[in-house]
Amino acid sequence: MKGIIFVIIALLSLGSILYVKEPQNFHQFPHSISTWYRSLNQNNKYPPNINPTVVQQGTWVLNSLQFTIRNYFRSNPNATVFTMNKYPIDKIVMVQREIPHYYALYSHKLGQGANGWVFLAQDIDTREFLAVKQQPALENTSYIKNEIEQLSILNRYRGEMSIKGFEIETHYLFSQLLPGTCIEELYSSDMHYNTKEILDIILASFYALRKLHANRIVHNDIYEGNIIYNVNDKKADWVDLGLSLWLPPGVSSKITNQWAQRLAPSHKAPEYNHEKGYATDVHSLGIMSLRLFLILTEQDPILKTKYIKSHQESFIATQQKYSALSKGSSALAKIYHLLLQMTSEETEARPTLDEAIAELEQTLKLM
């Protein structure tokens, strides 16, 4: 008996050591253990999925150099950047809002998108943790403007600035740090997800999109890489709003650029290249939800890798697999049918987001 207790304690201790060293390593443990750890760690003071040692070291740097930082900006009233290179903090920047804010830029990368990289940042006064998107300042200026407008509507905007380097000017966009994990990262883990867990993620993504639409924001880039899911409270938030639009309810935006004349890929809404609106978001959400089922339940690692790498391959597979499974009378078959309806080529045949949520909620009660 003592031997068994010793083995259990050793396994749990090893899990905590690996988590402190590098959070993603913890995901290699069986799902039951990770669930146990998450329930134990719900009140952790550190941002989810941020290595606690990074936060601890950053706190130590800020506390030990607080006087130096203040003195630098007092002595250099025109300065906006104080380069530190004190791991894990690269620099302190002054961001002008209603009043000046001083943000610490960490070397800790949170993610990467099509237009830039996202790193950890922190307000040195309030100690609020932030996300900062870094991208070339002279490129995609309309995307930057769009994102600032939508982040402001959602009360996530925390300021912006540009820093000139030797060869390029970099734009820094600060926003609220959202708790959770990018759903796309779930694909690369060895964890297995049951139907209820997948449906929790899907329902959270529906609610998150409804929140955007309630603020008259059409996302226009719905896929697994642009949503953050918090397993603790089963809530989600859509991020990367560079392609988003503010539109009155029921209105779509016509596109007149060079892409308008091209056919959209089959896994995108047919109107994607020439018109975007609320129905386009619904189509993309249906595609993403079916991909979640397909990839998170796939046991063959070769097929799983193929589906992850190719939206086209996964689209074909979902249409074949779930068209057949949707013909049953079970609650899950009804959910598959709903998601397939959302991916209809005709916008009028798709349910609205509110209709889809109502049907999903009602069906889930039967499970």
The CATH number for 321's domain is 1.10.510.10
Using CA atoms, how far apart are residues 28 and 22, in angstroms rounded to an integer?
Answer: 11
Same domain (yes/no): 59, 155: yes
pLDDT of residue 51: 83
Same domain (yes/no): 263, 312: yes
Q: Is 218 helix (H, G, I), strand (E, B) or coil?
A: strand
pTM of the model: 0.84
Same domain (yes/no): 213, 344: yes
Same domain (yes/no): 258, 286: yes
Domain of 24, in residue numbers: 2-40
What are the residues whose beta carbons fall under 8 Å from the beta carbon of 285, sequence distance 6 or more?
205, 206, 209, 222, 342, 353, 356
pLDDT of residue 305: 94
Q: Where are the alpha helices (DSSP H) in the chain?
A: 2-21, 31-40, 52-64, 66-75, 141-153, 195-214, 278-296, 301-309, 311-325, 331-342, 353-364
Instruction: Name the average pLDDT for the chain.
Output: 85
| Widest CA span in the chain | 73
Point out the least confidently predicted range of 29-33, 223-227, 288-292: 29-33
Residue type for 233, please? D
Q: What percent of the chain has pLDDT over 70?
A: 84
- Which DSSP category does 187 fall into? G
| pLDDT score of 35 more than 80 | no
Same domain (yes/no): 15, 131: no
Over residues 230-258, mean pLDDT: 87
The CATH number for 95's domain is 3.30.200.20
Using CA atoms, how far apart are residues 280 and 273, in angstroms rounded to an integer?
Answer: 10
Point out the least confidently predicted range of 43-47, 262-266, 286-290, 295-299: 43-47
Q: Would 304 be classed as within a structural domain?
A: yes
* Domain finish residue from 151, 176, 201: 176
Q: What tens digit of pLDDT does each residue of 106-132 get?
A: 999 998 876 789 999 999 999 999 999
| pLDDT score of 356 more than 70 | yes
Q: Would 46 be classed as within a structural domain?
A: no
Same domain (yes/no): 220, 291: yes
Q: What tens digit of pLDDT does each residue of 61-109 get?
A: 999 999 999 999 999 999 999 998 899 999 999 999 889 999 999 999 9
Same domain (yes/no): 194, 147: no
Q: Would 191 be classed as within a structural domain?
A: yes
- How many domains does the chain contain in total? 3
Same domain (yes/no): 189, 171: no
* Domain finish residue from 125, 157, 176: 176
| pLDDT score of 41 more than 90 | no
Same domain (yes/no): 83, 168: yes
How many beta carbons lie within 10 A of that of residue 182, not counting itself?
A: 19
Q: What tens digit of pLDDT does each residue of 142-164 get?
A: 888 889 999 999 999 999 999 98
Same domain (yes/no): 109, 26: no
pLDDT of residue 90: 96
Q: Would 47 be classed as within a structural domain?
A: no
